[in-house]
Amino acid sequence: MFSVFTEVWEAKEIQVNIKAMSNYSHKVNVLRRNRDKNEVENLYNKKPSKGTKTYFTSFDYSYGDFTEVSSNELVPGDIIELPENNKNMPCDALILTGSAVINEALLTGESTPVFKVAVSKNQNFSFHERKNRASIVHTGTNIFQIRKGAKGKALALVLNTGFNTEKGNLVRSIVFPKDTEVRFREESIKIIFFMAFLAVLGYAVSLPFMIHDGVSTEEKIMRGVDLFIDTVPPSIPYCIAIGIYLSVLRLNDKGIRCISRERVSDIGKVDLICLDKTGTLTEEEVELEGFRRTKLESNLFLFNHFQTKIDSTIKESFLYYKDKLHGAFREKISKQKELKLLFTECLATCHNITKLDDKLMGDPIDLEMFKSTGWELVETQEENSIIQSSVFPKEEKSLSEKLATCDPDQEDSIIKDHYELVIIKRFDFTSKLQRMSVICKNPNEEIYKIFTKGSPEKIQDLCREDTIPDNFMEILNKYTGKGYRVLGLAGKPVKISYMNSNIIEREKLEQNMVFLGLMIIHNKLKMNTIDTITELQEANQKMLMATGDNILTAIAVSKDCNLISKDVQVFTCKIEKNEKTKKYNILWEEIEKYNDDDEDSDRKSDLVSISKRRSSMSAADDDSSISAEEIASELDDEGELKKMIMEKEEENNQLMLEELRFHLEEGPEFENIQVMFDPKKMTNFMEEDFIIAIQGSTFETIWKLRNNYVKLKDEKFKEYYNLFRLILQNTAIYARMAPDHKTILVESLKEENFIVLMCGDGANDCGALKVANVGVSLTKENSIAAHFTSEKQDISCITEVLREGKCSLVTAISCFKAMILYSYIQFLSVTYLITVHSYLLDSQFLSADILIVPALQVFMAYTEPAPTLTPHQPVGELFSFPMMASLICQTFIQAMFQYLAYMIISYMPNFKQGGCLVRRDVDDPISCDTNTIVFFMATMQYYISTMIFSITRPYRKPIYTNYVFMIYFIASFSYFTKIILVPDEFSAWLFDYVVYDNPNIKYYIFIFGIINFAVSYTFEAGIIPMLTRIYYRSKYFETLRKIQTKKYDPNLQELQD
């Protein structure tokens, strides 16, 4: 009953905490208007296309009134005002007008404020959550600041409420978690059923003896119930849960919060750790190392020298623009200076920075990039403004300041002389596209400009071939090979109307761009990264990195933090098209070291060969010129608009319901892919010292090929299945991984029977954190995105979690074994006494069931984890060799000593045989020499089983450091020893035992107990581990023999087990 009560109390406590975390409401202003029946039917009965959500609503809210209601009354389709004053969002909503600066830390763990803008102002719109996520505000996010739109209001359309929201889905996963302990629970149920069968068998054996003794029917039933409860103790769940509960408390004291207690036992079985890089291994804050902008020399785009500061470039661009504005370049303009101007304007505009309380907020890279220009940012506060924000050089004053101090007749000339860029539209960064873009306009120019920033490889694909320097890959590999993060910059002027700028797709603009240069950034390793990784490696913990950075950057950082050896061979695979056969090949190549320290070296990279490209521009030197009309790449507004409208009508928005199952943008046909590698060399992982580093796009393609074999069982795809397993087992670095790639990776590793711990710091890791066996998020904010959240912002928390996990698992197994053995001992005692016409008395049952066993096994769980992480892996399976060998051996030992003690002592002088029959008047047994011997021996065996299963090395501290356990053990055992050796009337009355006439009997009982402990401890501490090593060594060599004789498909996981 106590066990049931504590379980219910703990469940209630968890439910209360979850409710306090998830239940939130406040007053909101909602637009209520009457709809006729046809409008409602049209709104809700129209079926959206598969994978999309389609909403039809009017943006004309001039009729109807805003009413203040509780957020609990909101329903999808309502139009509300965004709450102010630092309030949380009560629903998922789509911003219709205005904008907002929000904090999504509760959902993502990312504390950097996010800027959300209104959707396009079309009358009817269809959207997908992926495409319009920049306009969606989720439940539970905190709104720092709103900027009002039309009619002085910031409005949003309610999309989801309650459990249908993003936060609701996370809360539901906590309340109804996936069963993560299926195997452990199934095995424990099997053992309990076996014990129940044993109880029935024991009752069947003892029933004839009870009939012979004339026991009444009622007493027979009661003894059967006693036997069943003795054999299947109801306190097992409580004894197992107490260890988990104490581990959670200790983690909480160390600043590691847990929202999913059932994951604690999984930690002890973790055999692979997946680490993010930025914000996890390295600092979130960045250091801007410098720039490599492009320049023109002899018809070629070349890299300029490395610049740590660009103040001179910024000033030259400003002076050049002023000279051009004043007519200095009326006929011809300088290409070199125009290129430098585009570079400056790209740095000043291509970001997602906002202002909060007059302080710049945004991504650390964006902040450092913008600060390097010295420009100023001004955000519009006007209603219905087409401008999101504007930037201007530090040499300029803001336009409002200029106009406030000038004469009215000077306003036109001041406006024409003013240099400012307004940001019309932002295309936010997405991990899939690996870039962000902005559309800007100078009010004094007719053309618009688009700037793009992103991964250099993607920027290279988007730029005109003649603007890419010949040594692009060489320079890129030079910096990424040293561990730097590198971003590519591009831009171009375009002729386009404002109407088109709002509806044109980014893919139409992000093409044929001019490459402007590279921005080099450095993320320093966090203070404890190297020490923690070294400790994890000493514990034989397998680790890998999954990052969105360049593959060479990831390799360099991995070597710096000792994640991989500096001398290890690193192989990568890529997909290449064979122009002759028109087929795609998966090719393997070794990534060689790059040690060139000269910043301006022209040496070719050993990894990538690059063909020279000639510029098509007709200039001959640094001051070459082109006509002003040739600057803009023209887009026919009318023709382009018609084309886009037709494409919009034909556009298929059918995205798959599962977010992970997305398609490659221009992926090769699967049936045309061939694998080109040496299987003998690459699969001989036991002898070759190598690792694999792979790109996210390649990983995704091979994953899809492998799925074809899994789903279709087509033999032609089996080589991809084996290849994918090879990659999973040997890859240490996954680069250019989108959030969905990370999620696929974790799920695939779990399918290979790895127990995966994922550690990340923010939004890009949310999917992987949720699907991992154990998710650890590094954030100071309260978050429900991961099972564990660490306030300490480095990976040292992983060692704390692993130590507690192993301690908790070993404690649970030890408590389980002790309870099972306790049940066996009591079962043997009761069954044996019935066969000799005796029985245990109620006081003797209660002494074990209340005073000894539960207390000792609860206090046993208070032993803390070992101070250092051990390389040993605890056995997490009940039907494992060491578990079953231990239980079988200990059960046999206890049964043997109970029988030997009774047989030897029963032949001693003055031992009274018989006299233990029940009293006929009350059907109760009476105390006698027989049940006294069994009671004393069984009680000593309870202490023995608790002590031998408290063997703590190497997962927990020594048992003597558990002061609560030791005090209770010593006190209770001392008292029990006293009542054996120095019996007294009170104790004899309390426990219903007899005082032997032969004083030597009590010494024999005590000596038998000591010998019993010595034998049990020797088996548990020495013989069982020795047998276990022999067993697993024989399994290992048997598996190795099968591999060598080619009769077995190598499986690294089985060898690890």
What DSSP string describes 215-265?
A: --HHHHHHHHHHHHHHHS-TTHHHHHHHHHHHHHHHHHHTTEEES-GGGHH
Average pLDDT over residues 558-587: 78
- The CA distances from residue 802 to 245, 256, 807, 808, 1034, in Å, are 15, 12, 8, 10, 29
Q: Is 881 left (phi over 0), alpha (psi -120 to 50) or beta?
A: alpha
Output the 3-class SS for 133-181: HHHEECCCCEEEEEECCHHHCCEEEEEECHHHCHHHHHHHHHHCCCCCC
Q: Looking at residue 757, what is its pLDDT?
A: 93
Average pLDDT over residues 599-607: 35
Q: Which two tokens stand for residue 734?
A: 């996954």
| CB contact at 8 A, 270 and 585 | no
Asked if pLDDT for residue 518 goes beyond 90, the answer is yes
| CB contact at 8 A, 92 and 80 | no
% of the chain with per-residue pLDDT over 70: 76
| CB contact at 8 A, 520 and 291 | yes
Q: Looking at residue 765, what is its pLDDT?
A: 78
Asked if pLDDT for residue 139 goes beyond 80, the answer is yes
Average pLDDT over residues 640-653: 38
* Position with higher pLDDT, 573 vs 957: 957
pLDDT band at 377 (very low <50, low <70, confident <90, very high): confident
- Choose the weakest-confidence range: 14-18, 315-319, 846-850, 1007-1011: 14-18
pLDDT band at 859 (very low <50, low <70, confident <90, very high): confident
| CB contact at 8 A, 262 and 240 | no
| CB contact at 8 A, 891 and 821 | yes
Q: What is the CA radius of gyration of the chain?
A: 37
Q: Which two tokens stand for residue 279?
A: 């914000």
Average pLDDT over residues 47-53: 47
Cα separation of 17 and 1045, whole Å? 57
Instruction: Indicate the burial class of 478 (C-beta count within 10 angstroms; 0-12, 13-18, 19 or more).
Output: buried
Asked if pLDDT for residue 212 goes beyond 80, the answer is no
Using omega within 30 degrees of 0 as the cis cutoff, is the peptide bond preceding 874 cis?
no
Cα separation of 164 and 185, whole Å? 31
Give the model confidence (pLDDT) of 609-632 as tens digits: 222 333 333 333 334 333 333 434
Cα separation of 108 and 138, whole Å? 11
Query: In this structure, how many other beta carbons lie within 10 angstroms of the beta carbon of residue 161?
Result: 20
Report CA 705 to chain centroid distance, whole Å. Answer: 25
Give the model confidence (pLDDT) of 79-111 as tens digits: 888 887 677 888 888 888 877 888 776 666 566
The H or E element that residue 731 is part of is: strand 731-735
Cα separation of 341 and 324, whole Å? 11
Q: What does pTM read for this prediction? A: 0.73
HSE-CB for 660 with a 13 A CA cutoff: 16
Cα separation of 940 and 936, whole Å? 6
The H or E element that residue 626 is part of is: strand 625-627
Q: Which of 39-43, 244-248, 717-721, 831-835 has the highest mean pLDDT?
A: 244-248
Average pLDDT over residues 945-955: 85
Element counts in the chain: helices (H) and strands (E): 35, 36
Q: Which residues pair with 292 in a beta bridge?
A: 518
Cα separation of 683 and 669, whole Å? 26
Q: Which two tokens stand for residue 515?
A: 């490459």
| CB contact at 8 A, 780 and 791 | yes
| CB contact at 8 A, 947 and 969 | yes
Q: Looking at residue 874, what is its pLDDT?
A: 84
Asked if pLDDT for residue 825 goes beyond 50, the answer is yes
First-residue to last-residue Cα distance in the chain: 39
Q: Which two tokens stand for residue 84?
A: 């102010």
Give the model confidence (pLDDT) of 658-700 as tens digits: 333 333 333 344 444 554 444 334 444 334 577 888 988 888 8
In 89-235, where does DSSP find H-type helix?
105-108, 166-175, 182-212, 217-231
Q: Which DSSP symbol is given to 785?
A: S
Q: Looking at residue 745, what is its pLDDT?
A: 92
* Position with higher pLDDT, 30 vs 842: 30
Cα separation of 372 and 370, whole Å? 5
Average pLDDT over residues 908-916: 69
- Choose the weakest-confidence range: 146-155, 862-871, 881-890: 146-155
Asked if pLDDT for residue 1013 goes beyond 90, the answer is yes
- Choose the weakest-confidence range: 23-32, 786-795, 1008-1017: 23-32
Asked if pLDDT for residue 770 goes beyond 70, the answer is yes
3-state secondary structure of 520: strand
Q: Looking at residue 647, what is its pLDDT?
A: 43
Q: Looking at residue 684, what is its pLDDT?
A: 41
Q: Which of 119-128, 145-154, 184-193, 864-873 has the highest mean pLDDT?
A: 864-873
Asked if pLDDT for residue 6 goes beyond 90, the answer is no
459 Cβ contact partners less than 8 Å away, ≥ 6 residues apart: 435, 452, 453, 488, 489, 490, 513, 515
* Position with higher pLDDT, 39 vs 218: 218
Asked if pLDDT for residue 598 goes beyond 60, the answer is no
Q: Which residues pair with 488 in a beta bridge?
A: 454, 518
| CB contact at 8 A, 119 and 133 | no
Asked if pLDDT for residue 68 goes beyond 50, the answer is yes
Give the model confidence (pLDDT) of 931-942 as tens digits: 888 888 989 998
* Position with higher pLDDT, 259 vs 110: 259
* Position with higher pLDDT, 1037 vs 315: 315
Cα separation of 695 and 154, whole Å? 42
Write down how long the chain is.
Answer: 1057
Give the model confidence (pLDDT) of 747-764 as tens digits: 999 988 888 999 987 667
Q: Looking at residue 452, what is its pLDDT?
A: 93
Asked if pLDDT for residue 989 goes beyond 50, the answer is yes
Average pLDDT over residues 852-861: 80
* Phi, psi for residue 1012 in degrees, rounded to 5: -60, -45
Q: Is the dihedral of CA 428, 142, 106, 55 positive or negative?
A: negative
